[in-house]
């Protein structure tokens, strides 16, 4: 038969095989992260209700809601970094712009949309030859132009946004530079 001991913390009678565990359990006491009640062991919360409050939206934990890394608004989910899809896209665009500025080039072969967006943000929506911003009462449609006529030269100093009228007057319009600007085409033609 096991001997019983009275716990000095709670006053319960505990049998000898588990008495040490019971005392260690009292030493691990801490308060619930949500309501402040005493919890034992490795638990953070006193009940499922406090657990859902603490884990789902962090109300009352003192940790607060996480904030969006772009705009700083409160985010409703624990592991979320952004408050909206727009903020997520803005963060991606900022990183893309930093990469373009760091490398000094933007690939027009794989993604002309990125090149167009970057150039219109840096130089504005205007033709870089004639300087027009409007045509027939609307914002002027611009095209991406390689100054030297070589479509593989994606250095930022070789790219510009121009209107369709100016583009038609260039000597490189519509393949006018055929055989001179494209190295791979010269290799295929044997010239």
- pLDDT tens-digit readout, 49-100: 887 777 765 544 445 667 888 888 877 666 678 888 899 999 999 999 999 9
Q: pTM for the whole thing?
A: 0.56
* Domain presence at residue 63: no
* Domain presence at residue 82: no
Categorise residue 131: left if φ over 0, alpha if ψ from -120 to 50, beta otherwise.
left
Q: How many domains does the chain have?
A: 2
By residue range, what is the domain housing residue 152?
A: 104-189
Q: What is the mean pLDDT of residues 98-106?
A: 90
46, 110: one domain:
no
110, 185: one domain:
yes
CA distances from 96 to 89, 145, 171 (A): 10, 21, 32
43, 111: one domain:
no
48, 110: one domain:
no
| Spatial distance between the Cα atoms of 180 and 21, rounded to a whole number of angstroms | 85
* Domain presence at residue 91: no
110, 181: one domain:
yes
| Spatial distance between the Cα atoms of 34 and 46, rounded to a whole number of angstroms | 8
* Domain presence at residue 62: no
| Cβ-based neighbour number of residue 91 at 10 Å | 15
Tokens of 78: 């624990």
CA distances from 127 to 100, 144, 164 (A): 21, 10, 9
119, 181: one domain:
yes
* Domain presence at residue 108: yes
109, 185: one domain:
yes
* Domain presence at residue 42: yes
């Amino acid at each position: 038969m096991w001997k019983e001991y009275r716990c000095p913390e709670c006053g319960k009678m505990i049998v000898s095989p588990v008495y040490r565990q019971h005392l260690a359990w009292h030493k691990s006491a801490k308060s619930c992260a949500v309501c402040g009640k005493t919890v034992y062991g490795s638990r953070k919360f006193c009940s499922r209700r406090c657990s859902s409050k603490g884990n789902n939206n962090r109300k009352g934990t003192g940790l607060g809601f996480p904030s969006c890394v772009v705009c700083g608004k409160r985010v409703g989910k624990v592991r979320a970094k952004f408050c909206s899809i727009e903020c997520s896209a803005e963060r991606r665009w900022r990183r893309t712009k930093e990469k373009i500025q760091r490398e000094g080039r933007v690939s027009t072969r794989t993604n002309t949309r990125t090149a167009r967006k970057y150039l219109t943000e840096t130089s504005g929506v205007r033709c870089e030859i004639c300087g027009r911003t409007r045509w027939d009462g609307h914002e002027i449609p611009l095209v991406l132009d390689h100054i030297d006529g070589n479509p593989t030269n994606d250095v930022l100093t070789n790219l510009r946004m121009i209107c369709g009228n100016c583009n038609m007057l260039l000597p490189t319009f519509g393949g006018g530079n055929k055989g001179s600007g494209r190295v791979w085409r010269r290799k295929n033609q044997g010239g």
